[in-house]
Amino acid sequence: MTRHPRRNAQNLLTRFNKLQADRFYEAGVWQDYTIYERAAEHATRTPDRIAVRDSHATLSYAELVSLADRMATDFRDLGLVAGDRIAVWLPSRVE
């Protein structure tokens, strides 16, 4: 029998992640919402409150949601659709 280390590692990682996810949901650490949904909720209640801060700038929740909406539009313009997966690298500063 031929072993496939990459496939076995992927299966192990998938099972581990599922077990961890179940534990986090059960403990109430994870909830069923996205970061965007949580930010939009805050933007509705407290739009001017600071959401992101670095040593040079801040973004309010309203500004953060507006920025996320612009990025989503840019992604759609590139041809991405709901369900597509992408990786986004962002600097650890407000821009």
The kind and range of the H/E element at 52 are strand 50-53
Predicted local distance difference test score (pLDDT) of residue 13: 59
Q: What's the start-to-end Cα distance of the chain, in Å?
A: 53
Tens of pLDDT, residues 27-46? 887 777 888 999 999 999 99
DSSP letter at 82? T
pLDDT at 25 over 70: yes
State residue 6's pLDDT score. Answer: 56
Phi, psi of 90 (to 5 degrees): -125, 140
Q: What pLDDT, on a 0 to 100 scale, did the predictor assign at position 1?
A: 45
Helix 35-45, helix 61-77: angle, nearest 10 = 140
| 52 has a pLDDT exceeding 60 | yes
What secondary structure does DSSP assign to 17-44, as a single string? HHHHHHHHHHTTSS-S--HHHHHHHHHH
